[in-house]
Amino acid sequence: MKLPKEFIEALRAARKLVVLTGAGISAESGVPTFRGKDGLWKRYRPEELATPFAFKKNPKLVWEWYDWRRSLIAPLEPNEAHRLIAELEERYPEFALITQNIDGLHKKAGSKKILELHGNIWRVRCTNCPYKGEDYRVPLEEVPPKCPECGALLRPDVVWFGEPLDAEILNEAVHHSETCDLMLVIGTSGVVQPAASLPLIAKNAGAKVAEVNPESTPITSIADWSIRSKAVEFAQKLKEHLKD
C-alpha cells in the first residue's frame, strides 16, 4: 500500500494537525472493536450494558462487564500507530488528538494532549457525590465498587448511550476540528455521533481529511484520501516518509 503523494505533502505543509481515533487503532493491540466481525457488540447488546438505564437496573451486571473489559485491556500495550501519533504531537506547533476510545492506550503511548470524548475505563466517579478518581484495580475487589468518600455506588467515568458528552471536551474538539489544516481519522466506523461529525466540520472549515481504515465508512465520501489500511501498517509506511 503506497501513501498518496498529495497526502504526504498535505501532512508536511499542515500547521495544525488533528487526529481523530476510534476502536480500530487499538484493534492490533488486542482490544476488541465494537462493530467489527468479532466486535464486542456481537456478544453483548449495548442496550443491556452501556446505558444509564441498564446500570440503574443491574449495576452488578454492568460492572461485571466493565471489570472483564478492564482485565482484558490491562496487560495490553499501545501499538506503533498509537506511538506514531505521540510522535506527531511533537512535530506540529498546533496539534490535537481526539479519541472515542476509553482504553487509555494513547496516554500509555506518550500522547499528552488527549480529548477523550467518551471518557476513560480507568476512571470512576460517584453516583452520589463529586468524587472522581483513577482506579486501575483488576479485578475489582468488590463489584459493584463503592465510593471511598460516601459509600454510594461508583460508576465507570465513561459516556453511555443516551448520555451527553462532557460539553467542554466536545466544544474543544469542535474548535480543533474547525481550525485544523488536516484531520487524520484512524479506525472509526463513523456511525456514532457527535464524534462522527467532526471530520465533516473540519472539511466544511476548509481542512483536508484523510481516513485510515481497512473498510469504507460514512467518512469515506467526504475524505480527500481514504487509505485502505490497518493502523499499524499505515504508521509503519508514514514513518518511512517522515524520516526524509
Enzyme catalytic residues: 118
Is residue 214 a contact residue for ligand APR (CB under 6 A)? yes
d(CA 23, CA 36): 10
Is residue 30 a contact residue for ligand APR (CB under 6 A)? no
CA distances from 42 to 32, 45, 77, 132 (A): 11, 7, 24, 31
Quick one: 23 or 209, whose CB is closer to ligand APR?
23
Is residue 24 a contact residue for ligand APR (CB under 6 A)? yes
CB nearest ligand APR: which residue?
A: 24
Is residue 28 a contact residue for ligand APR (CB under 6 A)? yes
Is residue 95 a contact residue for ligand APR (CB under 6 A)? no
Among 22, 144, 145, 199, binds ligand APR (CB under 6 A): 22
Quick one: 35 or 203, whose CB is closer to ligand APR?
35
Letter for the amino acid at 118?
A: H
d(CA 234, CA 25): 11
In angstroms, what is the minimal distance from the CB of 86 to ligand APR? 17
b/e 31-68 (16+ beta carbons within 10 angstroms → b): bbbbbbeeebeeeeeeeebbbeebbeeebeebbbbbbe
Total residues binding ligand APR (CB under 6 A): 23
The window from 21-29, 141-149, 176-184, 203-211 that contacts ligand APR (CB under 6 A) reads: 21-29
CA distances from 209 to 14, 23, 104, 187, 226 (A): 12, 19, 25, 14, 9
The window from 9-17, 32-40, 58-66, 202-210 that contacts ligand APR (CB under 6 A) reads: 32-40
Among 36, 59, 110, 133, binds ligand APR (CB under 6 A): 36
In angstroms, what is the minimal distance from the CB of 55 to ligand APR? 15
d(CA 51, CA 47): 6
Among 187, 201, 226, 235, binds ligand APR (CB under 6 A): 187
Question: In the window 97-136, what residues touch ligand APR (CB under 6 A)?
Answer: 100, 118
Which residues are bridge partners to 95 per DSSP?
Answer: 17
Is residue 84 a contact residue for ligand APR (CB under 6 A)? no
Q: Which residue has the cell 476502536?
A: 23
Rounded to 5°, the CA angle 11-18-136 comes to 130
CB 103, CB 121: distance < 8 Å:
yes
Binding site for ligand APR (CB under 6 A): 22-24, 27-28, 33-36, 39, 100, 118, 187-189, 192, 212-215, 217, 230-231
